[in-house]
Amino acid sequence: MNRRELLVSAGLTGLGLAAGTLPGRAVAAGRGSRRGWTVTPVDAGEAHLEDVASTRGSTWAVGVALLDGFQETRPLAVRHTGGGWQVTPTPVDTHAALTAVAVAAADDVWAVGVDHGDGTDRPLVLRRDGADWRRIEAPDVPAGAFADVVAAPDGSVWAAGWASVDGAERAVVHRYAEGEWQLLGDGLEEAINGNALLIGSDGQAWLALNPGLARFDDSSWTMVEDFPADGSEILTGLAEDGSGGIWAVGVAHTGAGERPLAVGYDGESWQPVETPDEPGQLYDIAIAGSRPVAVGERFVEQPGGDLLFEPYLLEVRDGAFVPADPPAVPEGSTGVLTGVVADRSRLWAVGAVDQQALAARRVIAPR
């Protein structure tokens, strides 16, 4: 199960908040770390960041603020102002969280997630097209949540996640245009969660699912046959490179445990991309310059059998994903990277370390 799905279906227990999480520690302000990473504090108390978007000179991250011993949550949206991260108020004061953000324009930002305020999961949609966030009426479903959002070149906004359909959990995609939501669900009947969306430069839409991967053909989704339908491979992140190639990352459930999963599409077929054979999973991917970079968490067994979760970063070198230095965190910390994005000059990564929001950036070195 991917981290965003855990957030909306398990009340944050998958975010390192279960028993055994280490006490909170502040992340050092402006801390320079390996390979040029700079960690900048997010003044949001105990919190987690889930996703980050940076385009058109606007950088935003979203997640969840943790209240009352983690029994209560609030949506968290922060903006990078140049000197640091600024928390921006949202109009939601119920038990809710944000899981994804998209920047349609410098003054038009969308965020999605889940609102559990009435005791049932409901899709949550926020839009900031001026000075403040406002709530957009979400699709009317008995229950559900959004896991990802993208702003399409034609001005529409797409959101993916899950909804209760005829009493069963089903993956859904909704497209918002001219003030109306349109359900794009044909072909997704066998999938239970839409994890990540990508609309490529050619207008082609891809959807990472639990399980599998689907491609949209203007009227319905077609499942890609290269991926098993048994849930052994779950994709949670998608990105397009400068040549039109598509990259996807996630987790493979193997006999030896969870392993990082990566695949690539060259315009004709999907092929596996080598990853380290070590416990861990990936949540998101970005193209930094021309190099794919993926983030997630690595599982490190401690004396006595306990697991330590560490921020994990892989990048492609010589055709394979290999470990690279993540942002530095305090020794012995429990942490994860859940979102990554690249703009023209910087790579941004977000997540959490010991119940504190983690946000870091580094300059993209020319190749």
Predicted confidence (pLDDT) per residue in 74-95, tens digit: 999 999 998 899 999 999 999 9
Letter for the amino acid at 105? A
Q: Which CATH class is domain 3-363?
A: mainly beta
Letter for the amino acid at 86? Q
The mean of the pLDDT values for the chain is 88
Show me where the domains of the chain are located: 3-363
Q: CA 101 to CA 81: how far, in whole Å?
A: 17
For the segment 9-28, the average pLDDT, to the nearest whole number, is 33
Whether residue 6 is predicted with pLDDT greater than 90 in this model: the reply is: no
Per-residue tokens: 219: 């009227």
Percent residues over pLDDT 90 in the chain: 75
Range with the poorest average pLDDT among 58-72, 156-170, 179-193, 308-322: 58-72
Q: What pLDDT does residue 301 have?
A: 83
For the segment 246-269, the average pLDDT, to the nearest whole number, is 96
Whether residue 28 is predicted with pLDDT greater than 90 in this model: the reply is: no
Q: Return the number of other C-beta atoms located less than 10 Å from residue 66's C-beta.
A: 26
Predicted confidence (pLDDT) per residue in 32-57, tens digit: 345 589 999 999 999 999 999 998 78
- Long-range contacts for 138-143 (Cβ within 8 Å, ≥24 apart)? 138/181, 139/163, 139/172, 139/174, 139/181, 139/183, 141/165, 141/172
Residue 296 in contact with residue 309, Cβ under 8 Å? no
SS3 9: helix
Q: CA 364 to CA 346: how far, in whole Å?
A: 5
Predicted confidence (pLDDT) per residue in 285-339, tens digit: 999 999 999 999 999 888 887 888 999 999 999 999 999 999 998 888 899 999 9
For the segment 98-105, the average pLDDT, to the nearest whole number, is 96
What's the helix, strand, coil split of the chain in %, to 5? 5, 55, 40
The helix (H) or strand (E) run that includes residue 234 is strand 233-240
Q: What pLDDT does residue 35 have?
A: 59
Phi and psi at residue 261, in whole multiples of 5°? -120, 135
Whether residue 69 is predicted with pLDDT greater than 60 in this model: the reply is: yes
Q: How far is CA 257 from CA 50, 230, 279, 299, 338, in A?
A: 24, 16, 7, 10, 20
